Every structure is written in C-alpha cells, then in structure tokens.
Structure 1
Amino acid sequence: MAIRIGNGVTVMNQQVLLAGVGVTPFVPLGQGDARALAVCAVRMAMADASIDFELIDHIVLACAQGGAGNGEQLLAPLGFSGIPLINLSDGCASGHAAFHLARQSLLSGESACALVVGCDAMPVEIGSHAFFGLREPSPDSPCQAVGGGLLQQRIASRQQPLELYAAQTRQLLQDFGLSAECLQQVLNAARQRALLDPSALLAGLPGSGWQQPYLATPACGAAALMMCTPAFARRYGIQADIACLASLRGADFDDDLDPPSVFDALGRSTTHRLVRQIYDQAGLGPEDVDVVELHDQSVGDYLINSAALGFCRDEQLVSFAQDGFGRSPGGAVICPSGGLLGRGHAPGATAIAQLVELSLQLSGRAGARQVTHARTALQHSMALGRAVSLTLLQRTSS
C-alpha cells in the first residue's frame, strides 16, 4: 500500500515515530557555543530514546548560519562512525527542512533510525539581514515595501524583513481594529507562558539593536529529535508512541501576491492553503487539534497565522488578542511554550524545538505547561513567507 505525498509522488505506507527529544535552554546572542549546544541536545535526545549513536542510520543538521562541513564540526565530540550527514542552511526554514528530509529517508526505507539536529549560535553584533539568512543590501539598493506593479518587487520586500514586519504591524492596527495595547497583551502573555518552559530563558530580556517592539527575540539554542520506524522501535524495546501523520512544505502561487498584501507576503495564503491540504491528508480538521506551536516571529504572525490555520476568524482577532495566549474558540491551546515570542528565535533550531515541545505535550511530560488530554498536535513554521511548513503529530496510545 502507498500514500501520496504531493505531485503524484508515492512512498510505501510506513509510519514514522518520534523516539527521543532534547532541547537546550535558549540564551541571548553571543552567549552560546554552537558545538556545545548541538552536542548537548543530541545527547539529551539519545538518552530520552535510549539509543546509542552507532545505531543511527542518517543525520540531518540544520543551521541557518552554517557552512560546508558544519555538521561534522559541531558533532565531532560524538565521534565519526560513517553515518551519512546532510547539512542544511535555509534561514528560518532550516529546521523543518531537516525534519522533513529525515522523515523521507525513513518513509523510503533508506533508514530505520534518523537524527535531526537544529542549532544556531550567533554573535551579538549580527545584523538583521544576516540573522534571517539574507545578504546585506548594497547602500544604493532601494527599500521595497509591499506593493508596486511587478511580482519581483513584491518578492523583493522579503529582502527587507524589518520593514516588512513594521508594515504588518501598521496594517493590523489600521484594518483589524487592534490597538497597541492588544499587541502588547499578546506579547506579555507569551512571556508569562515562557516562564513555565525551562528552555525559554529569554522571556522579557532585551533584544538586539535592531529589535522591534513586537518581534521575537533573537537567540542561541539547539534541539534534536530521534526518529525511527516501528520495526526499529520493537527491535530495541523503545517506547515510542508519537507518530508523524503528515509533513508538508509549500510556497507561493503568483496570485498570492496579486493584489499585494503584507500578510500574504508573510505567508498567510500559503499557510491557509497548506493547512487544508494537511488536514485532508490526515482526515482531520482544526477541531481535532489539541495543541499548536506556530511560527510567531512577531505578534502579527501569531494573530494572522492563528486565523490562517483555522483556529479563529479574522473578525475575531481583537477578542483573540485580548484573550492573550488562551485556547482558540475550538479549544486548541496555541503556543503553550510561549512560542518564539516567549522562548526566543534561533532560526536553525526553532522548528525542531517546536516539535520537541509538541512531543513532550503528547507524551504528558510538559510539566507545569501541560495541556490536558493532548493527543493531536500541529506544528507550523515559516521563512519570511517564502516557505511555509506544517507537521501533524499524534499520540498512538490511548
């Protein structure tokens, strides 16, 4: 039996399980050592799964600031045993891309056990463009806001992330009846939730010199996942009862940016389209989701993405913001970890840290932030709207 994964491609119907997880504390820029963070997260995930390093068939390492051979350098303290290692560097899309690739290796039968690692440790003086994985613009390049007559100009707006997020905030205040107090209330609620998350040590700390009031704080951190097939889990006696039901990545259609919209430049249309696809693939809907970790790079992202994912309507955004980080109207708990706004954002590690959080929630190990009776979880990540990713997880045991 086979399942469709898009564009007519099929793979054997093989379940993928999350066997072990690890996440380091996220710390301010300039205070993290990439090798120490990555090795710590991997050792935590191996201990959680009770798996030796030599049993891993495949490693994918995500690092937004990584270069050639970065993974081999970061994981050198664990030793070299001929395990294939792939390095990925794709800005804020890096973490989910690594997860998706490792999952595909398991689905295809290429691997029985895969390790996914996300890590970033950036210097305190890093600029906003470099943080997002972009090249610094030349002094004579014009700042492209969302708008203009050419598709290329609208896409170019993503090369100016701070201006794009500032435009997002202005649009929220102008078109949705939100106030600055509402936006601050969401940010405060995120930071309060983050106080319950031992990996989120950035709550309330000042950001970088280019930090805007409603953006997530840049951070250093690492996260790791051990993934395996059911046969591997049975063979080694691993108690793995979190399954990945689906993992998707999507991008723009031409029509998404015509007419121009700052929300669609930041991924609203793609998120809305992709979530319908993943729900259809899994036979679920937003009403079936108990807990969500979405990409809240900004307060605006939290609000707009909550609506795009089906957890509220656009006309409910004011009351949704006033409720802070409570449950959606359908009952899902959104960002119990505090999200990027509460934990901080280390681009290569963030998506994997989201999956770690959801695994902890589904296995009942999230401590004071535990969502009761959580069985189905949705993870959402973005890279300035140019790439949107979704993952559905579900606890297989009753």
Structure 2
Amino acid sequence: MDKKSTPIVAGVGMVKFEKPGQSDTYDVMAARAVREALEDAGLDYSMIQSAYAGYVYGDSTSGQKALYHVGMTGIPIVNVNNNCSTGSTALYLARQAIESGAADCVLAVGFEQMRPGALGDVFEDRPSPFQAFDEATDRCVGDVPVPLALRYFGGAGLAHMEKYGTTLRDFAEVRAKASRHAARNPLALFRKEITADDVLESAELWPGALTRLMACPPTCGAAAAVLVSPAFARRHGLEGGVGIVAQDMVTDRPGTFDSNDMMRVVGYDMTVEASRRVYEKAGVGPEDLDVVELHDCFAQNELITYEGLGLCPEGGAQKFIHDKGNTYGGNVVVNSSGGLLSKGHPLGATGLAQCYELTHQLRGTAGDRQVEGARAALQHNLGLGGACVVTLYQAI
C-alpha cells in the first residue's frame, strides 16, 4: 500500500484484564481504554469523527453507553458483534473508513464483561448460529459431553494429532510458552510461569484431547485504538507511528461443513486465505515477520494456526515448537503478550488488545517483552460462526 494512504494507529489503550466479578463494569472499562488511547495519540475526543464499538455479550447500544462517558459529540457510533473476532472487526471498519476517505480520525473500541464458565447460546428460543458447526462436529467426533467450544477445538487438536502425529505435550508446550511471555506483561490476567508438565497434570476436560490449562479463561476487559489518515497525522504533527499496510477478512466457505475435517470447522481455511491475501497485498511473506499475535483461544488453535499463517509448513508445527521457533530467539515471537491463554480473552476486546500489543512492539515501547528490532507484525483474530481477520502492521 502507498504510504500516503496507509491508515496510522495514532493511539492505543488497554485496561488490565480481570476474572469475571473482579473487574469494573463494561462501560467504565471501555471509557478508560478510550481515554488512554486518546492520551496516547495526543488527541481530544472532539476530533473523533466516528466510532466502532465491539462487544459480544451485551444489550444493544452498549457502545453508546460506554462512549458517552468520554464525550457526547453526536458522532456516528456503530455497535459491532462478530463473535471472538469482534474487536478486529471494529478495527477493520475503522480502517475502511480511513482508507475510503469517509473520515480521517476514527475510534475502534472493544470490551466485554463476561460471566464465569464455558460459552454457550444466550437465546435458546431460536435457531443457533452454530447449528451447522455442531452437526459437522457430530459427524467428526461424535456426541462428546463437553461444552461447544471445547468440543470444536479439542476435536481440531485431535484431527491434527491423527494427521501429523502431534502429541498432547506439544499443546502443553504452547501453553507453557504463553505463561513465560505473560510473566513479562503487567496487563495479563495470569502471570505465573508454568511448565508443560503442569499443563498436562491439570484437570482433563476431554481425556486425551484437552486439559483445563489448554483453554483460555473467561475474562473481562477493554482495549481501544485511534486510527488517522496520513494527511491528518501531518496536520496535527503526529510523527512516525505504526501503519496498517494490509488487512483482510474472510468468512466460511462450504468446506467448513462438508470436509469432515475439524481443523476446517474451526477456521483453518479462513486463516489460510486471509493471511494469503494480506501477504499478497503487502508484498511480504511469513518469513518477514518479527512478531505475531494470533488467536490462541486454545493451545490447539495456536498450534494449528502456525501452519495456517505459513509460519511453518503444514505438518511442521511440532518441529517449529521443539526448535523454539515461536519465541524469543526463534523465527518469530508468537503472542509476546501471553496471548488469550495467559493474557485473557474478553471476546469483544481481544482484537484491539492484539493491536495494542503489536503497536507497542513496533514502537519499541513493549518493555520487558520487547521483540528486538521489530518492524513487521501480524495479527490473527478468529471468531467461529465465522470470521477471520488478519492484519499486517509495519513501523513507518
């Protein structure tokens, strides 16, 4: 993309993620994240021309409730819900508004006030959007008595194990790596380092497929980003910065349901296609990346996504992990923040929390978790139902 039209991430903000019942309410968290993003950008809320507010579990116009704490300027506020990819969908819309010229200073905010326990349908008096996913999963793994997300991603992990000889310990190593990264992140929910043995010894949620520590926790939190056009940045003296040089969103195709492959049920094809388009648009490849924040809602999905993003060959994730290609000193640092597994996963906030992390990495302001010399960063945010958003950032 021509740098003259590259949307710039001028400011980011994020609150520390917390367990359900221990956080502020969603509107207070969101307002704090927005104020921090504005302060980071050196801009006033009166300069924001439109806003996209992402959340999954909340009543209509919760975005207005949150943003009215910051200001009531009459701007368009669009509420966004795209399951776990909600935050990056809000970012996607904000980026489109800048690129199209519809606005040159836009806010994206994501937040979630979650309840304890596994995810499930809220409205049970109508067809579930996951009906086709459940039917495909039934055909692949049968009627396993675990909550829906565990069945999807545990089944995907089993599919990878059967196809490539991956072991449960490989997934445990992914989770242990997440804890080591999170120990450096003051905004992460879980900062205690754990070992692969700790992960394997945690409670079995699905014997042979999934333990408790391989799953991300329900979390409350908020994050925000202010995007501006290059022309706006010049007018207001915003020097340097981080640019969104390519971004794409992909939704499901028939193979999600008719392939009899659990990896495809949980979005592997979407990941492959979205990342391919982004690499092509930006003129880079996975070998050019320094740091990646990817959607590790389960350790199984992180491992599968290594291959989907091209960080290693198909079937090469086990070697990639054993060679420590996914951490400091390796090929690319994956989830320097600790990822969803350790940082937490407030659904609506996750995509913008990833943006927060990568912006600081490219600025060189990530503190103890800084990836040395980071110049190119990739974000992968996945929501079943489904949508996958992949975003490439570069220091400019």
TM-score (normalised: structure 2): 0.86
- 1:16 deviation in Å? 0.6
Query: Could you list the per-position Cα deviations for residues 69-106 of structure 1 after superposition, in whole angstroms to 9, with x for gaps in the alignment?
Result: 21111122212011211111221121111011111111
Question: Could you tell me how far apart the structure 2 residues matched to 1:275 and 1:67 are?
Answer: 33
Which amino acid in the other structure matches residue 85 of structure 1?
I
- 1:164 deviation in Å? 1.2
Deviates further, 93-102 or 359-368: 93-102
Deviates further, 186-195 or 318-327: 318-327
Query: Could you list the per-position Cα deviations for residues 324-348 of structure 1 after superposition, in whole angstroms to 9, with x for gaps in the alignment?
Result: 6734998221111111112011110
Q: Does 1:197 align with 2:172?
A: no
Which amino acid in the other structure matches residue 389 of structure 1?
V
Structure 2 matches for 1:304-383, cutoff 5 A?
Answer: 304-323=304-323, 326-327=326-327, 331-383=331-383
In the superposition, relative to structure 1, how do residues 188 and 209 fare at CA in structure 2: closer, same or farther (>3 Å)? closer
Which amino acid in the other structure matches residue 311 of structure 2?
F
Question: Which of the residues 21, 24, 27 maps onto 1:30?
Answer: 21
- 2:255·2:264 contact (CA, 8 Å) conserved in 1? no
Question: Could you tell me how far apart the structure 1 residues matched to 2:161 and 2:385 are?
Answer: 20
Query: Could you list the per-position Cα deviations for residues 136-183 of structure 1 after superposition, in whole angstroms to 9, with x for gaps in the alignment?
Result: 999xx996352649xxx99xxxx9322212212323333332322222
Equivalent residue number for residue 10 of structure 2: 19
Query: Could you list the per-position Cα deviations for residues 266-287 of structure 1 after superposition, in whole angstroms to 9, with x for gaps in the alignment?
Result: 1111211221111111111111
- 1:362·1:376 contact (CA, 8 Å) conserved in 2? yes
Q: Cα RMSD over matched residues?
A: 3.1
Equivalent residue number for residue 276 of structure 2: 276
Query: Could you list the per-position Cα deviations for residues 110-139 of structure 1 after superposition, in whole angstroms to 9, with x for gaps in the alignment?
Result: 111011101001133x54214xx775999x
Which amino acid in the other structure matches residue 80 of structure 2?
L
Q: Which runs of 5+ in 1 are unaligned?
A: 4-11
- 2:159·2:261 contact (CA, 8 Å) conserved in 1? no
Which amino acid in the other structure matches residue 107 of structure 1?
E
Question: Could you tell me how far apart the structure 2 residues matched to 1:47 and 1:333 are?
Answer: 28
- Secondary structure in 2 matching 1:219: coil
- 1:314 deviation in Å? 3.0
In the superposition, relative to structure 1, how do residues 342 and 86 fare at CA in structure 2: closer, same or farther (>3 Å)? same
- 1:265·1:385 contact (CA, 8 Å) conserved in 2? no
- 1:267·1:385 contact (CA, 8 Å) conserved in 2? no
Q: Does 1:95 align with 2:81?
A: no
Which amino acid in the other structure matches residue 14 of structure 2?
V
Question: Could you tell me how far apart the structure 1 residues matched to 2:62 and 2:352 are?
Answer: 18
Q: Which runs of 5+ in 2 are unaligned?
A: 206-210
Equivalent residue number for residue 248 of structure 1: 248
Q: May I ask how many residue pairs the two structures share in their alignment?
A: 375
- 1:377·1:392 contact (CA, 8 Å) conserved in 2? yes
- 1:299 deviation in Å? 0.8
Question: Could you tell me how far apart the structure 2 residues matched to 1:202 and 1:325 are?
Answer: 23
Which amino acid in the other structure matches residue 281 of structure 1?
K
- Secondary structure in 2 matching 1:314: coil
- 1:18·1:240 contact (CA, 8 Å) conserved in 2? no
Q: Does 1:78 align with 2:78?
A: no
Which amino acid in the other structure matches residue 189 of structure 1?
K
Question: Could you tell me how far apart the structure 2 residues matched to 1:134 and 1:347 are?
Answer: 18
- Secondary structure in 2 matching 1:22: strand
Query: Could you list the per-position Cα deviations for residues 318-368 of structure 1 after superposition, in whole angstroms to 9, with x for gaps in the alignment?
Result: 222335673499822111111111201111000110011000000000001
Question: Could you tell me how far apart the structure 2 residues matched to 1:181 and 1:209 are?
Answer: 13
TM-score (normalised: structure 1): 0.86
- 1:147·1:261 contact (CA, 8 Å) conserved in 2? no
Question: Could you tell me how far apart the structure 2 residues matched to 1:350 and 1:269 are?
Answer: 21
Question: Could you tell me how far apart the structure 1 residues matched to 2:368 and 2:45 are?
Answer: 31
Query: Could you list the per-position Cα deviations for residues 22-46 of structure 1 after superposition, in whole angstroms to 9, with x for gaps in the alignment?
Result: 1110111122221221111111111
Which amino acid in the other structure matches residue 347 of structure 2?
P
Question: Which of the residues 161, 172, 175 maps onto 1:173?
Answer: 161
- 1:271·1:388 contact (CA, 8 Å) conserved in 2? yes
- 1:250·1:270 contact (CA, 8 Å) conserved in 2? yes
